[in-house]
Structure 1
Amino acid sequence: MAAGQRPRVFLHVGSPKTGTTFLQDVLWSQRTTAAEQGLLLPGERFHDHFLATLDVRGLAEDPSYPVEARGMWARLVRESLAWDGTVLLSHELFAGASAEQARRAIASLSEKAEVHVVVTARDHVRQIAAEWQEHVKHRSATTFGSFVRGVRDDKAGKSWFWQVQDYAGVLERWGADLPPEHVHLVTVPPSGADPTILWDRFAQLLGVDPAAFDTELERSNSSLGAEQAELLRRVNLELGDRLPLPGPYPLVVKNVLAHRILEPRAGTRLTLAVEDQQYAADAARGIADRLAAMGADVVGDLDELVPEVGGAVDGVDPAADPYAVPSDAVLLEESVATIADLLAVLNERRSAVQRADDLTQTARQKPVRFALVQAAEHRPALRKLRGAYRRLKARRGGR
């Protein structure tokens, strides 16, 4: 690092369900391109940033979480401070930190780096429905209607929803010791807009060329339809104490059942009742006004945070109760299809395990053959050697 030069660290702290997975996927899948543009993503993998959120929020010592979380924040800080360009630390669960936890995290960087805090933000009509789905993907058995009532009844803003979805509150906690020009809000464009708009805004804030990155990635962490979300909610009820969280639940239920099997299935889009849409719009307007008063740098438009109320939703009957639970007949059909898909996935994994077992057995019993086969698959030039080995073996009678 040049003498007197300080790295510029962008700390992207949330909020959940605001396009964070899309942005992270673009950058981590093209980490080399980011580095060529002077942007460091510290750590060995994106999972390290999740572990850092546990460390910052005082959860790293919990034995139910990976032991690698202990000290992860300090490790990422050391790597960030050794870089001579721009650094991005990004995970939406940083939004759950308290004011004191956020202050300590900022202090560990600010003495030797120019620190910027970034929040991505989306309108609350979409956020309420999205957060309920995310709760269900994390073992919740609360119905959609009950979740919406809980959000509205939380006048003090103490629930997890408002802790991470009050964008002004998140920036107040994380940006308390930073100048306003180092506190940034990136708005998510309205539903139906080109998703690359969000990427362009985020990339330009970081100082990288948006066009240098491929944004045509397979989207992960997509939405569930009402039928699929209700089926998952009932699975959570049936599981009881099995597959705990933290523990195996994310690997088995969230990653396989929710993301791989249920997300691709067609379902009814979740929406709020008109009176709840109005509530969300009013709450969003209040947050937007607080953000404007803070003087934070807005990349996009604060008006994008205030949703339209009462608009038609594709595939949704405007006369239907948006909180009605799908019928047992509908869920039975959904369940049968899901079981069939699960069996197909199980067979894929069984086949993969069998192939791995076969390779292990070959490596133990015929190490020379194993080495030649593997080398030939990775280096075509060695295929001739593999053929010569087979001819020699044939001349010796297969010994």
Structure 2
Amino acid sequence: MARRVFIHVGAPKTGSTYVQNVFWTNVDALREAGILLPGKFSAHDEAMADLRELTWHANPAWSWDRLAAAAGEWPGDVVITNEGLGAATDAQAARAVRSLRPAEVHILVAARDLWRTFPSMWQQSIRARGVWSFSDFIRAVERGTFDDFWEHHTANRMLRRWGDLVPAGQRHLITVPGPGMPRDTLWRRFAGVIGIPDGVCDLTVAAGANTSLGAAEVEVLRRVNRALGDRYPHRAPYQRVVQRHLVDAVLKQRTNEVRFGVGPDRAAWVLDLAEQQIKELAEYPCDVVGDLAELRPVDVAPVPTPDQLHRDQVLDAAIETIIGMIGHAEQLDLQLPRPRESLRRRATRKVRRGLKLWT
């Protein structure tokens, strides 16, 4: 029976890719230290989809019950990590926690300041096949017609959905450090909660974060998504084709120099929301790892939104993307094995060679 189970449920765009890279590249070292990550990375994603009754995987090998059973067989501590878990309903979260008992269940939720969260979340929605403009997204949040943003992408509500299921001392809110902090700060906060000693994990092998696209590149992707129509539906077909051959192979490789953000006209609104968020979290009984002040935006720079790009900027990015895909296609072509000569053709060639020897 597991002693303790730590469920990292999100939120998305809070450094989860980096943290998970550390976990999975050090999975053997963690196991030797008595900490188990059941299955593989894909197992946690499949189990999350099963728990939330999503049809993202055609033939999943793992269900939530299988993951919970693997956790229950381990005599030490267990880590389950998937940022999609935070969007579970009250009933789904309750089922997950119940399935892991009698182990001591801990809930880990990460939070990031809204000034950085808004553009990151919108970009993630585009990379998940979304088609709405940045202005439409912000306007929907501002008018209260996109409540899913607060439900699925911020710590406040998911902390209550999951955290209320365990005692206050087993709820952990981890704040994402601001710019300028050492790169490993976020990992060390997670490690401190779980009790992973320094030196167990090699942080140098945990390659980077989930690379962000520039304003022009993400706008090109949004327009491609819109033009695709019903082709490559979310999620698996889109990831297999568009994510792999366009986003990962080409768009992420560009310099992505033109950054984007909420825009100066909404800075006061975002700052006000941040204060409300900090106040609400300060009143919630949980273990705060980091500082709630880190959720207060400090660099409200006057960067443009993607909708403010000049059409030539988008056109130039589209042309460079086509050139990049040509190069990518050429590399794939070079990797293809040469077609094998048919048996009949080889036999014919040998016969002809033999006849020449007799003439």
TM-score between the two structures when normalised by the length of structure 2: 0.89
Of residues 50, 67, 70, the one that matches 1:79 is 70
8 Å Cα contact 1:204-1:210 kept in structure 2: no
How big is the shift at 1:97? 0.6
CA distance in 2, matches of 1:321, 1:213: 39
Equivalent residue number for residue 261 of structure 1: 250
Is 1:219 matched with 2:204?
no
CA distance in 2, matches of 1:303, 1:260: 37
How big is the shift at 1:120? 1.2
Is 1:178 matched with 2:166?
yes
Is 1:351 matched with 2:343?
no
The DSSP-based 3-state class of the residue aligned with 1:211 is: coil
Is 1:233 matched with 2:222?
yes
Structure 2 counterparts to residues 111-190 of structure 1, below 5 A: 112-154=102-144, 159-190=147-178
8 Å Cα contact 1:278-1:309 kept in structure 2: no
Equivalent residue number for residue 276 of structure 1: 266
8 Å Cα contact 2:128-2:235 kept in structure 1: no
CA distance in 2, matches of 1:36, 1:281: 45
Q: Deviations over 1:349-389 (max 9, x none)?
A: 2233316x66x999xx9xxxxxxxxxxxxxxxxxxxxxxxx
Is 1:288 matched with 2:288?
no
Closer, same or farther: CA 354–23 of 1 in aligned 2, 3 Å: same
The DSSP-based 3-state class of the residue aligned with 2:250 is: helix
CA distance in 2, matches of 1:269, 1:295: 37
The DSSP-based 3-state class of the residue aligned with 1:65 is: coil
The DSSP-based 3-state class of the residue aligned with 2:203 is: coil
Of residues 48, 52, 60, the one that matches 1:57 is 52
CA RMSD for the aligned pairs?
2.3
8 Å Cα contact 1:12-1:88 kept in structure 2: yes
How big is the shift at 1:39? 1.2
CA distance in 1, matches of 2:18, 2:231: 31
The DSSP-based 3-state class of the residue aligned with 2:6 is: strand
Report % sequence identity.
35
CA distance in 1, matches of 2:276, 2:259: 27
CA distance in 1, matches of 2:182, 2:245: 28
Counterpart AA for 1:83: W
Aligned length: 342
Gaps of 5+ in 2: 347-359
8 Å Cα contact 1:144-1:323 kept in structure 2: yes
CA distance in 1, matches of 2:153, 2:270: 11
Gaps of 5+ in 1: 313-317, 366-399
Equivalent residue number for residue 395 of structure 1: none
8 Å Cα contact 2:46-2:63 kept in structure 1: yes
Of residues 87, 94, 105, the one that matches 1:103 is 94
Q: Deviations over 1:161-203 (max 9, x none)?
A: 1112331210110122210000001111012322210011111
Counterpart AA for 1:67: N
Is 1:207 matched with 2:202?
no
Counterpart AA for 1:332: L
Counterpart AA for 1:152: E
8 Å Cα contact 2:109-2:155 kept in structure 1: yes
Closer, same or farther: CA 328–109 of 1 in aligned 2, 3 Å: same
8 Å Cα contact 1:81-1:109 kept in structure 2: yes
8 Å Cα contact 2:18-2:207 kept in structure 1: no
How big is the shift at 1:220? 4.3
Closer, same or farther: CA 81–272 of 1 in aligned 2, 3 Å: same
Equivalent residue number for residue 385 of structure 1: none
Counterpart AA for 1:122: R
How big is the shift at 1:242? 1.3
Equivalent residue number for residue 355 of structure 2: none
8 Å Cα contact 1:11-1:90 kept in structure 2: yes
Is 1:7 matched with 2:16?
no
Deviates more, 1:184-193 or 1:16-25: 184-193
CA distance in 2, matches of 1:211, 1:278: 43
8 Å Cα contact 1:140-1:236 kept in structure 2: yes
CA distance in 1, matches of 2:229, 2:114: 31
How big is the shift at 1:244? 1.4
Tell which has more relative contact order, 1 or 2 (C-alpha 8 A, sep 6+): 2
Equivalent residue number for residue 351 of structure 2: none
Counterpart AA for 1:283: L
